[in-house]
Amino acid sequence: MSAQLDASEYHSLLRSFLAEDLGSGDITTDTVVCATQRARGEVIAKAPLVFAGIDLFVEVFKLLDVTTEAEIKLRDGEELSPGQVPAIVRASARALLTGERVALNLLQRLSGVATLTRQFARAVAGTGAQILDTRKTTPGLRALEKYAVRVGGGTSHRKDLSEAVLIKENHIRLAGGVDEALEAAQSAKGQAKWIEIEVTNLEELRAALAHSPDVVLLDNMSPSLVRQAVEQVRTHDPARKIRIEASGGIALGNVRDFAEAGVDWISVGALTHSAPAVDLSFEIEPQ
């Protein structure tokens, strides 16, 4: 698993999450639990899942208690079965109780993204197509959700608007057409990693290919139409310098059809905007 994450880089973000949850203080924990009480908490999988975000999970408690210790048995990217205990955290009881919700929310969210991504990646295995994320991420969580996609076996598309040119339907409409949009985009060639344009039919594709963009995005086409589009691109570009991306209307049930049509990339917004949180619990006991 090539994805890496340094939890210490996210201290400001984690502190903001804790501040949102804490308000003026955890009055329940502070009145019910002794300040000197130590405790241990076990992370327990309640369903099959792909683990992602354990370092962030532990870091939440370290921000609340510098004496926090963690026994991490399974790392991000590993698959868990119900009942498995991938990590144990030892800290002050107050820290574990106060940080529990923020830490567990993150772990469940990121593991959910990784789990769904793994399902898509497996569905296209052997075709040569890559599963990509999109910018349809939770505001403030983009870097972490895209990390979870990589953990699950997917690949990151643009991290933000400054990385590449992606001309979509509204850009084309406002620019005056496919030709006008691609001609104007040439001025960004030295700045952008690639120039990509979205097309919705074969006529728009022919117009786009006249400008030889780096990537063509086949949007909301059926698998059979995607196959025709791929043949058109390969005929125009036998050296395969132009990458072909498919997006829109893609689900686990049909993603392999798109992959077998010959595209290089398949972008799936659902990886981050619709992945359900997985079922994990955090059981705390006195130590």
The predicted structure's pLDDT at residue 4: 72
The predicted structure's pLDDT at residue 186: 96
Q: What is the pTM of this model?
A: 0.95
Q: Contact, 278 vs 108, CB < 8 A?
A: yes
Residues β-bridged to residue 243: 215
- Please tell me whether residue 196 adopts helix, strand or coil conformation: strand
pLDDT tens across 18-77, in order? 999 999 999 999 999 999 999 999 999 999 999 999 999 999 999 999 999 999 999 999
pLDDT tens across 79-96, in order? 999 999 999 999 999 999
Kindly report the length of the chain. Answer: 287
Average pLDDT over residues 193-214: 98
Over 90: is that where the pLDDT of 286 sits? yes
Domains parsed from the chain with CATH numbers: 7-121+275-286 (3.90.1170.20), 164-268 (3.20.20.70)
**Residue 3 pLDDT level (bands cut at 50, 70, 90):** low
- Please tell me whether residue 130 adopts helix, strand or coil conformation: strand
The predicted structure's pLDDT at residue 183: 97
Provide the total of helices (H) and of strands (E) in the chain, helices listed first: 11, 12
Q: Which carries the bigger pLDDT value, residue 4 or residue 218? A: 218
What are 266's two structure tokens?
Answer: 């398949």
CA 56 – CA 60 distance, rounded (Å):
6
Q: Contact, 49 vs 79, CB < 8 A?
A: yes
Q: What are the catalytic residues?
A: 101, 136, 168, 198, 219
